[in-house]
Amino acid sequence: MGKAKFTFIDLFSGIGGFRKALENNGGECLHFSEISTDAVTAYCANSNEPIEKNLGDITKIKELPKHNILTAGVPCQSWSIAGRNLGFDDDRGQLWNDTIFLLNQSKPDAFIFENVKGLVDPRNKKALSYILERIKEAGYFANYYVLNSFDYGVPQNRIRIYIVGFKNKEFADKFKIPKPLEKKIKLADILSDFNEKIIESENEMPRDLFGQIITQKSMSLSTSNGLNDYFLFNDLRNGHSTIHSWDILETTERQKKICYLLLKNRRKSAYGDLDGNPLSLEHFQGLDKTITEKELEELVGLKILKKEHYTFNIDKSKIGALTEEENVLLGLCENDFLIMDKLKMNRELKVKKISISKTITPLIQQGILISNEERYDFKNTKISTGLYGVNRVFLPTSNIFPTLVASDTNDFVTTKIIYAKNEEDHKKQFIDKVYKKENYRRITKEEACMIQGFPKDYILPENRARWMKLVGNSVSLPVIEMLGKAILDTGVFENKTKIKFGMPKILNMTTLEIKSQMMEMSAVKNASR
């Protein structure tokens, strides 16, 4: 690399997303700060940087050397805005405050801070306002931008907040975020074992019986036309690309009908106050009088449904020594009567993190709680976990893969393309060609790197949990590269200008200052004539 256009310091550096992006814009990294051993190892290995350049724990950094840009991917920790008026030296120990302390101390020309999109949620309005106010107090003109990585060169739905600021208002006013790229990168572009051709021209597109083109619908779109390019595994929602447990397991049409009956009615307020409510045998028979208890029990045996206690009477004569959690739970009874709905909605139990199932079980065993109503619900009631270890499977025609997270997910990809005639055919082909034949897999380390915009050969640990944590915590490299270029485009670092007429170089002056000095020199020349 030639002479650097600017210098920067990389706080909360992770594996080097900020560094690589700014180096691609001609920047030189002076120091970085990171405490994760795996992240430091990866950072040094990929940047050929000595570990001595690591400043370590940000809370222990007293000052930073002079530099042009300060970057920080501040961790999304929960934090408080207590100590609002204590000043920059007295409210450290919280990572946002530590970051702004160093910004105030080192006074770079510009900065880029990144955080999760939750910071712009209404519930965090005070926190964001506090951060922006502290940045203003440090002498900076800043604004925040909510951007999706997908719009700037990676096939990932990753929405983050970026706060960009300048010491000089002139350059802050010039700063503009470029428009999203028109040509988006698709998932197929980064899949290592994908060799098929994706149909792109209208002449090649499959058509229905009436000659209308059958389109693919990406998860990024909200239109109702077309066929989804991913399949969702859960029993609580419905749609042509939703795979239910009764689609996978061997079930009869009658059993499928009962499952759909529960799916259609469990969210109705007539059956309870929750967003999804179990139904009793009487409720089922009110919807279809031919349904029997035996049929429901068979679905329990298939582990599609589960049976649960719903209401209880209390036998006070059995109450003896109780745990604190049991006392709290029994205190929620009304007229010696307990309803599961009320427990699941109770704030006190949530705040105290009291497990309903673990607390209620011994009370039933002791005969203190006597069940007087049982109901049936789906066994798998947590959407995010999916079914049988699978949450979503993405087709190569998809534009977007879900947000990569540190903890990994149950999201998979397939390299099989499905061109179906209708929604029913789409689902059938997926089950037959992809799911049953196990033609799906997790993304590889190389693909995860590319989904974040890193080179596929980026050096990371071999263990999946370790590299997934590093990649999931990183920034998307192309977004930072775009922001870095936008900062450069303001002219903030163009501080060396040659003046004609034999005048010396004027260093570290703004355009307005140079113009003013030139006018003064011209006036002096005219006066001497």
Owner of token pair 């040509």: 183
Domains and CATH numbers, the chain: 6-184+474-488 (3.40.50.150), 193-243+387-443 (no CATH), 245-383 (no CATH), 496-528 (no CATH)
List the one residue out of 487, 492, 425 whose CA is nearest residue 22.
487
- Contacts of residue 484, defined as CB under 8 A and 6 or more positions apart, other chains included, come to 21, 22, 24, 25, 27, 69, 112
pLDDT score of 172: 97
Regions of the chain with pLDDT less than 50:
79-93, 199-210, 213-214, 216-225, 496-529
Indicate the helix (H) or strand (E) that contains 7: strand 6-11
- Tell me the two tokens of residue 81: 């805005």
- Contacts of range 30-34, beta carbons closer than 8 Å, 24 or more positions apart: 30/65, 30/67, 31/55, 31/64, 31/65, 33/9, 33/57, 33/58, 33/61
From edge to edge, which strands make up the β-sheet containing 242-243?
A: 242-243, 230-233, 392-394, 411-413
SS3 assignment for 323-335:
CHHHHHHHCCCEC
Active site residue 29: no
φ, ψ (nearest 5 deg) of residue 13: -70, -20
Bridge partners, residue 111, by sequence: 70, 165
C-alpha to C-alpha distance for 250 and 248, rounded to whole angstroms: 7
Q: Looking at 29, 76, 259, 333, which residue is catalytic?
A: 76
List the one residue out of 457, 468, 448, 483 whose CA is nearest residue 156.
448
pLDDT by residue (tens digit) across 156-190? 999 999 999 999 999 999 999 999 999 888 899 99
List the one residue out of 73, 136, 68, 128 whose CA is nearest residue 99.
73
C-alpha to C-alpha distance for 379 and 432, rounded to whole angstroms: 24
- Tell me the two tokens of residue 479: 């977004």
pLDDT score of 198: 57
Q: Is 261 exposed, middle or buried (0-12, 13-18, 19+ CB in 10 A)?
A: middle
122 and 80 Cβ atoms separated by less than 8 Å: no
Give residue 440's identity as a one-letter amino acid code.
Y
pLDDT score of 279: 97
345 and 339 Cβ atoms separated by less than 8 Å: no
pLDDT score of 201: 43
Give residue 520's identity as a one-letter amino acid code.
E
374 and 310 Cβ atoms separated by less than 8 Å: yes
Bridge partners, residue 6, by sequence: 27
pLDDT score of 382: 87
